Amino acid sequence: MKLTQYSDYGIRVLTYLGLEPQQQATVGEIAAAFDISRNHLMKVVQQLAGQGFVESRRGKLGGLRLARAPQDIGVGEVIRALENDFDLVECMRDRRDCRIAPVCRFSKLVAEANLAFLAVLDRYTLSDLLQDTGRRQELRTLLHPDQPISSGAG
Amino acid sequence: MKLTQYSDYGIRVLTYLGLEPQQQATVGEIAAAFDISRNHLMKVVQQLAGQGFVESRRGKLGGLRLARAPQDIGVGEVIRALENDFDLVECMRDRRDCRIAPVCRFSKLVAEANLAFLAVLDRYTLSDLLQDTGRRQELRTLLHPDQPISSGAG
């Protein structure tokens, strides 16, 4: 069982932006910080913008930033928006795929289990991913290894 | 988010065998009933046998049957045995995949959500998938369209 790369990258983008919510960042800068494909990230960012998680401003002074405060961005909400589907078994997508689909209960159990999965993620926000000052500082150091450690912003 | 085809096919095999737990079946017969690849199914059956869910007897009078009663086969247990991993995000497999893996909390939230997912499946057994007589009869009709409806076995 796996989440898509979309969810993975989406959480990375939001973590990056959430570390400095007042600053703008570019897709290229985030791709470089995580050492991942700029093109893949671009699609994820477009979806995050479309779903109202990030704001994207064009032009010379443009860039990306969070559209909402980290404590107002639910992890479950993000995963629901970025996973292209929660059809965990084929028959949930196309009932013709399996002969017994009309009476099989397995897909119903899986759907129930999936709700429990998302309910756990719904208990957390982006703020929980960034939480304490120590963690924020460690995240900053990992994402900006060349920058001096700032003692100011907590 | 998706379960592997292994889990999907594994549940199909157990459902097929669970419908007639006293009878033996062959992999070819089950593959034909679901109109799926015999080769794919063979690997799943080997794993189901290895994990003690089905018994496989060789020879002329050989075949497959459930190794335990349907009410003793937990759905969660089957999915745990057949999914090759529950590393839902890349960093759970290889922490080098993401720069912030050492301090990131996302994989922990996902692991917690996954436990909730499996806990729901743990509430059900193969018996719940076969349950009432009406459902069993419908399943039989779908899997054995050429056989007359038997009024005997419930």
Residue-wise pLDDT tens digits, B103-126: 788 989 999 999 999 999 999 999
Q: What is the domain-level CATH number for residue A86? A: 1.10.10.10
Read off the pLDDT band of B139 (50, 70, 90): confident
Indicate whether A18 belongs to any domain: yes
Overall domain count for chain B = 1
The answer on pLDDT for B39 being more than 80 is yes
The answer on pLDDT for A148 being more than 80 is no
Indicate whether A86 belongs to any domain: yes
User: B106–A75: do the CB atoms touch at under 8 Å?
Assistant: yes
User: B99–A34: do the CB atoms touch at under 8 Å?
Assistant: yes
pLDDT at A4: 84
Residues spanned by the domain of B69: 5-143
Read off the pLDDT band of A63 (50, 70, 90): very high
Indicate whether A125 belongs to any domain: yes
At B63, which helix (H) or strand (E)? strand B63-66
Question: What chain B residue is nearest to A117 in terms of C-alpha separation?
Answer: B113
Indicate whether B96 belongs to any domain: yes
Mean confidence (pLDDT) of chain B:
86
* Residue range B16-42: mean pLDDT, rounded: 91
pLDDT at B149: 60
Facing residues of B65 across strands?
B55
Indicate whether B150 belongs to any domain: no
Q: What is the pLDDT of residues A18-62, one digit of tens each?
A: 988 888 999 999 999 888 999 999 999 999 999 999 999 887 778
Read off the pLDDT band of B85 (50, 70, 90): confident
Q: What is the pTM of this model?
A: 0.85
* CA-to-CA dists, residue B103 to A132, A138, A153, angstroms: 11, 7, 18
Indicate whether A151 belongs to any domain: no
The answer on pLDDT for B154 being more than 50 is no
The answer on pLDDT for A96 being more than 90 is no
CA distance A88 to A74: 22
Q: How close is the nearest chain B Cα to the Cα of A24, in Å?
A: 20
- Best B12, B35, B100 residue to mutate vs chain A (most A CBs within 10 Å): B100
Indicate whether B148 belongs to any domain: no
Tokens of A115: 């709700």
Instruction: Of B70, B9, B71, give the one whose Cα is nearest residue B38.
Output: B9
CA distance A108 to A135: 39
pLDDT at B125: 96
Indicate whether B152 belongs to any domain: no
**Phi, psi for B96 (deg, rounded to 5):** -70, -15
Give the residue, B7 or B152, on which the prediction is more confident: B7
